[in-house]
Chains A and B, each alone.
Chain A
Amino acid sequence: MRVGAAEAQFHVLAVDDSIIDRKLIERLLKTSSYQVTAVDSGIKALEFLGLNDEEDQSDIAEAPSVSPNNHHQDVDVNLIITDYCMPGMTGYDLLRKIKESKSLKDIPVVIMSSENEPSRINRCLEEGAEEFFLKPVKLSDVNKLRPHMMKGTSMEDEGNINEGKAMEDIQTPERTRTIYNGFDVLS
């Protein structure tokens, strides 16, 4: 249970094999007041999300990943942002695994890539990615994440109340560092 809207922070899982890009995305996300977990591979991302080799562990009693009450995973992740080009499991592979998983499919996924390839972009969007960001990722890109996060969480009930504020956030000029704690915008 959340303590209150003002205390809540969205949690973003960032996946990128580049240590520089992980540091960058982490800073971008933290500047926007998100809690961040950064991992260097799709496999580690799935481990973190509680999904191992099998698709869904919901019928296994010991599985820590899925809470019995709802289909949301115990590790509360409100959005996943992943690089496309990674060794082993690509961002696209990761996206597919997430969308194929009962427990994870509702988590919004955003893809990042240094290649501006329309076929790649379309494939990802068709597979269910919410957005496709061209690297290097900017603050203006990160500002586009907030409405996607509202959708994916149990905070949806509070979504209506705060919709006005959410829209304000998006229109905030990039260079203004507005510190907001959850839904309170302090200017």
Chain B
Amino acid sequence: MDRNQLRRQVAHMRSSLIEQHYLDQQQFVQLEDLEDDSNPNFVEEIVTLFYKDSSRLFQKIDQALHSVPMDFARLDDYVHQFKGSSSSIGAIKVKNECTQFKEFCLAGNAEGCLRAFQRVKHEHEALKRQLETYFQLRRQAGMAQRS
């Protein structure tokens, strides 16, 4: 497959991710626009950072969920942090699940929190898989270098 075809595939996948609300158009496109010759992998770098950070926060959330009694204030704090990072990389679905999660925290709803965390993790995983494919495609299309 030639480079142009690959690039079209990348563009197509990007549109699809946006249409399916995995990603926020404005935010994600801005991230890509911030790439240049001296920072060709910025998007992948910040997303990788996001995964590392989410891993850290998930552990903390897990601990808070299993504290007896459940520490809702702490939970809310962690989810708030995670919501912020999700928003920064344009991960809408993840961010929306965080919003729901926060509501359960504020309401002191333990069941709701446990369910919400499952949903957050699910969306996070789904996005991760999609982005893995996306970055692979970009690499193949030589899109690290932007004109």
Contacts and interface: CB of A to CB of B under 8 A. Distances in A.
Interface of A: 18-21, 23-24, 27-28, 31, 85, 114, 135-136, 138-139, 174-175, 177
B68 to A, nearest CB: 24
Contacts of A19: 49, 53
B89 A114 contact: no
Contacts of B26: 138
Interface in B105-143: none
A24 B46 contact: yes
B88 A24 contact: yes
Contacts of B84: 18, 20-21, 114, 135
B25 to A, nearest CB: 13
A51 B126 CA distance: 46
A20 B33 contact: no
A20 B46 contact: yes
Given A19-B49, A19-B53, A20-B53, A114 B83 contact: yes
A18 B36 contact: no
Interface of B: 26-27, 30-31, 33-34, 36, 39, 42, 45-46, 49-50, 53, 80-81, 83-85, 87-90
B52 to A, nearest CB: 8
Contacts of B46: 20, 23-24, 27
A136 B27 CA distance: 8
Contact of B88 (A20, A31, A177): A20
Nearest to A27: B34
A136 B85 CA distance: 9
Nearest to B33: A175
Given A19-B49, A27-B39, A85-B80, A135 B33 contact: no
Contact of B49 (A23, A135, A139): A23
